[in-house]
Structures are given as C-alpha cells and as structure tokens.
Chains A and B, each alone.
Chain A
C-alpha cells in the first residue's frame, strides 16, 4: 500500500511545496541504468515559485 509522503519544503521560504506533476525522466534512466522507469515528482513552491524534484515512490 502506498504511503502518504510528507510534502517537500521550499529551501528558500520553508513553505510546503505543491506536487503537481510526475514524469518519467529518460535521461536519469540512461545514466543510472535502472531496471524500473525512474519517475520524478515535480513540486512548486506557492510562495516563490521555485521548483524541486524527488524520485516518486
């Protein structure tokens, strides 16, 4: 069962970021030679608009 993850925090203004997209990053797959497709989460800070990514679960 998929666990709820904590939101990412913006490193600039410490706000909770909004998870608005998940995307397969083919470039990452090539470099790490993983068996699974590496899906990344795209987060945007509502305060300053900064974006951040982390691997999706």
Chain B
C-alpha cells in the first residue's frame, strides 16, 4: 500500500538568476534528504520549467511539475532573498497548482548574501504557503553570507550546516508522514 512506500520530498530551487549561490544550497539539501532512509527526492530547478508570461495560475500548468507535486508528500523550497522578498519566478510557478499541494508539508530554506539567512523571505512566504494548502514546519534553513559558506566548486565549508539541516529534515519527514496518513485515511466528514 501507499503508506509503506518511500516518502517523496523534492527540493525546489526557487531562483533562475545567473550565478546563483542558492544552487549550491539546493544541491547540498538534496544530498542530505537523499541520505534519509525510506525517502526519495529530486532537485527541481525552476530554470528548467518554461512557463508563459501572458497568463497565470492553473491555466499554464506544466504537466511534469504538476505530476511531481501530486506525487510529493512534502517539499523543500530553497529561496534566496531578493529585495526582502521571494523571486517572482518562484511565485509564478507555485501558483500553477493547488490541489496538488493540499495537506502536504513544506520546509523553507532561506538564502542571503547578508547576515540574516533569508529570514525575511521565509516570513514573507508563510501566508503564501498557507493559502496554497501547504503545512509549514517550524524548522527553517538559514544560509547567511552564502558566498562564504561554499567554495568555488559548491563544496560546503561550514560543517555546522549539516547538523542544522538534519534537524530540519527530520521534522519535515515527521510532518510529511503524519499528513500522508491523514490524506489517505482521515476524512473531514
């Protein structure tokens, strides 16, 4: 039965900007998620998804992305902070689905060049997550001064992030497991 199959927890890289440091973070997080027992993951790069810009919402669904969101039990968003907000390209993509997200877990990893680790972009995303029907976990990832956290090959320099992300992922797995049970077994009526 579905309840015994591995959780699917994709990682969404939420920026298409050239020379993005968030890509290093997303690759690192994906590797850490992949190490967890009974969990499958995949890195979804929003740069690889072409969406029209003359319409918005569910009218412009990308079939492959929707299938991944439908299959997902939870997800990680790796999001840089641009002018205190989230990239418009990420919001444009997220808005193309709705039922695929409902009662699924989400954890947000904020990325910034400054000292605050994307805390402002995480706070700005919370009402969006809620309206999409996603359930946000109470652990965040915070990568501050990201340009110093990795070397030029994308290798993590500060090993303290491994322990922090481990806690984040454990909470995401717990919430995703509980919500999957609920989606499959608990009716609102």
Identify the A interface with B (CB < 8 A): 18-23, 25, 27, 40, 42, 44, 46-53
Nearest B residue to A30, CB-CB = B57
Identify the B interface with A (CB < 8 A): 1-2, 57-58, 70-71, 98-100, 102-103, 133, 180, 182-189
Query: Contact: A20 with B182, CB < 8 Å?
Result: yes
Q: Which of A18, A42, A49 has a CB less than 8 Å from the CB of B99?
A: A42
A44 to B99, CA, bound (A): 10
| Majority secondary structure, A binding face | strand
Q: Which of A20, A40, A46 has a CB less than 8 Å from the CB of B188?
A: A20
Query: Contact: B184 with A18, CB < 8 Å?
Result: yes
Q: Which of B1, B58, B183 has a CB less than 8 Å from the CB of A44?
A: B183
Query: Contact: B71 with A18, CB < 8 Å?
Result: no
By a CB distance below 8 angstroms, the chain A residues around B184 are 18, 44, 46, 49
